[in-house]
Chains A and B, each alone.
Chain A
């Protein structure tokens, strides 16, 4: 019990005192996972759209692969990305291992199948005749895509939230490709693991609370967008 109380107090203290290190870590978490989510949304929803709206051989197989990717373990992604980004690995010339860019890359790989999988389901759930109706009313293909996205806004925002939730909370890939370097690639999850290892449970607890608050805040904003009244 003491620990929980201490952790809450510590979290309160860290937030109120605007502790520079914790602020930096929190900001980096948001920046890395935000960028990764953005990338995954762009790729996930557009590729999801391509798959959902077209009929082609092997579609079911592709969708199964994407759905499997929704359960991609972060450590597996971390390991692969690390090996590929090694100095002497195939992408060593990029020189981005142990940088926030590498973390964004790994997290985007984790989030993309999540966003894509839910997007496919969301778009396939729209009435099949809807797009022919839109096209017959004289809309261009691009306008049609825009309308479909608006129609499927609720589940698509759920896809975004699931993607963001998947990456802001993961630690396996971030610690492997980012290295948990102080003031550079340390994010809330990797800092929590480290502080736990150091026996600083109060700090670890405080960081967890800050992480939860951050996730809540971001999802609150996402939810506001999702639940916005539809403009008529």
Chain B
């Protein structure tokens, strides 16, 4: 097997190729933070404004991994993220109680809304209670799109369905997309179905959707975002200084001011309401 003699040459070529393209392994490793967050903060564009500001102020590099809140917390549990920005309060409390996270702090809120086609086949428009609205959708066998991905929105949706006492999984009119909020809204628009969304993502996508807000304002539809630092005691590799810097930034006056005005120019109304320091 004389060809094996050439192996070192091949290996050298591979290394050269990497070097030539100037892709060195993460150089500033300690200065980078992994932020696991929800699709809503990414799809609404809020992070595109917040993160560059934070990076400029502190010199950290933020690696934003936008997944559902459920997956974000799973990453935190495994120590594969440094800081979380999520909106799934019940799961968050459990996450902190089990010692995976520390310093859970209130950041902002907006609300969930039930959206659907203008024709409104289940006649839920102007229904005050989200529970009654869902019951009507079920009674009418009207198509309902669920995220089905353990995200914060999905967790809230399941909680609301549970309150109605109905079993919806497996029903023909109840479909799970398994996708992010933006994509699920697009599917709901395309198939003329109902879905539950956070207001931020809805407003950001409104122009292309053709879905109307049908139910809003119910207290059970509050959507609250918290920042949680992953517990470094559990995972020593976590960049706890960076996580703390980011969490402090998100609740700082500067970031809260950005959150307060974000989206007004583009969408006519703010997408999120800053809450740092307030009591829940």
Which A residues form the contact surface with B (CB < 8 A)?
31-32, 34-35, 38-39, 42-43, 46, 49-50, 53-54, 86-88, 92, 94-101, 104, 141-142, 145, 179-182, 184-185, 194, 196-199, 201
How far, in angstroms, from A43 to B62 measured CA to CA in the complex? Answer: 34
* A31 pairs with B21, CB closer than 8 A: yes
User: Nearest 5 pairs between A and B by C-beta?
Assistant: A197-B182, A199-B205, A38-B17, A35-B21, A199-B208
Given contacts A196-B183, A196-B186, contact A180 B79 (CB under 8 A): no
How far, in angstroms, from A190 to B6 measured CA to CA in the complex? Answer: 37
Contact of B10 among A46, A97, A141, A179 (CB under 8 A): A46
Chain B's nearest CB lies how many Å from the CB of A149?
A: 12
How far, in angstroms, from A108 to B171 measured CA to CA in the complex? Answer: 43
* B29 pairs with A86, CB closer than 8 A: no
Nearest residue, chain B, Cβ from A202: B208
* B29 pairs with A95, CB closer than 8 A: yes
Query: Which B6-50 residues sit within 8 Å CB-CB of chain A?
Result: 6-7, 10, 13-14, 17-18, 21-26, 29, 34, 39, 42-43, 45, 48
Chain B's nearest CB lies how many Å from the CB of A199?
A: 4
Pick the interface stretch among B63-71, B110-118, B269-277.
B63-71
**Contacts A/B (CB < 8 Å), 7 sampled:** A38-B17, A46-B6, A87-B80, A88-B80, A196-B183, A199-B205, A199-B207
Contact of A198 among B34, B64, B182 (CB under 8 A): B182
Which residues on the A side are within 8 Å of B185 (C-beta)? 199
How far, in angstroms, from A17 to B211 measured CA to CA in the complex? Answer: 34
* A179 pairs with B64, CB closer than 8 A: yes
* B207 pairs with A99, CB closer than 8 A: no
* A201 pairs with B64, CB closer than 8 A: no
Which residues on the B side are within 8 Å of A199 (C-beta)? 182, 185-186, 204-205, 207-209
